[in-house]
Amino acid sequence: MQKIRCVVERITYQNPENGYSVLKCRVKDYSDLIPVIGNFIDANVGSVLIIEGNWKVDAKYGRQFVAENWEETLPATVYEIEKYLGSGLIKGVGPKFAKKIVQRFGVDTFVVIEDNMIQTPKVLNHCFDTTNCSVTFSNSRNNGALPRMARQNMPER
């Protein structure tokens, strides 16, 4: 069995009844997106996954990674953090705003947010010259390890 670490770029297919999914994932040292198949009912675009499985070659779809076990992990690289923030899972933060946040704070993005929970709107307003910013935090994802940001009426830059 092999192990890969990847970022979910696209969900090509997902059966809501049994969780069977076809994901397109970005894996380090691979130039193309890798098709990953398995039971990923809770996976979302932007999720960082560690997957155990095996490669197979399907007659119709070509080379695929077949997942046997997987777990979601915290984004660790600038790319992973940007994809996570910009995935649409966090209300009001799209790809453009996520890129600005990560450009400003780099791999320390989540540390800055977590360390400044109460002052985060002020920090973001100062750094990005925005108005009407609000930030909320939720324990619904990654056991509460990551903040959930929400911003309202913020202009796209």
Tens-binned pLDDT, residue by residue, of the chain (157 aa): 999 999 999 999 999 999 999 999 999 899 999 999 999 988 888 889 999 999 999 999 999 999 999 999 888 889 888 988 888 777 777 888 888 888 888 888 888 777 765 555 555 555 555 444 444 433 333 334 343 333 333 334 3
One DSSP character per residue, 96-150 reads HHHHHHHHHHGGGHHHHHHHTTTTHHHHHHHHH--SS------SSSGGGTS----
pLDDT of residue 34: 96
pLDDT of residue 21: 96
* Same domain assignment for residues 47 and 87: no
pLDDT of residue 71: 94
Question: Cβ distance 52 to 38 under 8 Å?
Answer: no
The pTM of the full predicted model, rounded to 2 decimals, is 0.67
Question: Cβ distance 142 to 72 under 8 Å?
Answer: yes
* Same domain assignment for residues 13 and 58: yes
Please say which residue of 47, 73, 99 terminates a domain: 73
pLDDT of residue 91: 72
Split into its structural domains, the chain has a count of 2
pLDDT of residue 94: 84
Question: Cβ distance 101 to 85 under 8 Å?
Answer: yes
* Same domain assignment for residues 25 and 51: yes
